Chains A and B, each alone.
Chain A
Amino acid sequence: DADVTQTPRNRITKTGKRIMLECSQTKGHDRMYWYRQDPGLGLRLIYYSFDVKDINKGEISDGYSVSRQAQAKFSLSLESAIPNQTALYFCATSESGTFRSGANVLTFGAGSRLTVL
């Protein structure tokens, strides 16, 4: 089984619908992240959580919300989906504190492709 599992892997929905993308991990990491990827752009951070009681906005949080249900689970919601939220979404985890050299090494899920019509 994958260390970081995202569901669904693919979803097509309509404008105005509520969508939830789920992420679960078996790494035992405290930190979890949601990123969005669009063609020609780098991964952009939507929300991140350093532990169950800690939720932080990233650079593009408008239109999104998250829930950290447990250390291992972090879900991303689109309350009312719009077409420009069509993208590939990645969940990631990392250890708290430094890792080896101090680099914040992320472990990514396989991605959830969302299409909003």
Chain B
Amino acid sequence: DQQVKQNSPSLSVQEGRISILNCDYTNSMFDYFLWYKKYPAEGPTFLISISSIKDKNEDGRFTVFLNKSAKHLSLHIVPSQPGDSAVYVCAAQETSGSRLTFGEGTQLTVNP
């Protein structure tokens, strides 16, 4: 069963606008959530994470929101830039430092 799900395979936004990428999970034991960014022909690179004891974490243009009751997290990118065009992958882990469970990824395209 898919414990981490990204239901939108793709998202297209205009440069300067907000991009919102969503991720749902089913395992209430997940303690940490991470977002990775992946360009073609490259491996995923770490973007931002959030602990389950928080509901928001911000790093520059990137903010991750966690809604534990809904088992939902989202990544907001404001303002979106063409260089943000990539696949964004959501991941979750049960305990500190343990293995990750990954979502399928969402292709973000930011149009100039």
Contact = CB atoms under 8 A, between A and B. Distances in A.
Please classify how large the interface on chain A is, using the bins under 10, 10 to 19, 20 to 34, 35 or more: 20 to 34
Interface string B29-46: 001111010000111111
A110 interface: yes
A8 B61 CA distance: 36
Interface residues of B, number: 29
20 contacts: A33-B99, A35-B102, A42-B2, A42-B89, A42-B102, A43-B89, A48-B99, A58-B99, A98-B97, A99-B97, A101-B32, A102-B32, A102-B51, A102-B96, A102-B97, A103-B32, A103-B34, A103-B51, A106-B44, A111-B41
Interface of A: 4, 33, 35, 40-45, 48, 58, 90, 92, 94, 96-111
Interface of B: 2, 4, 9, 31-34, 36, 41-46, 49-51, 89, 93, 96-105
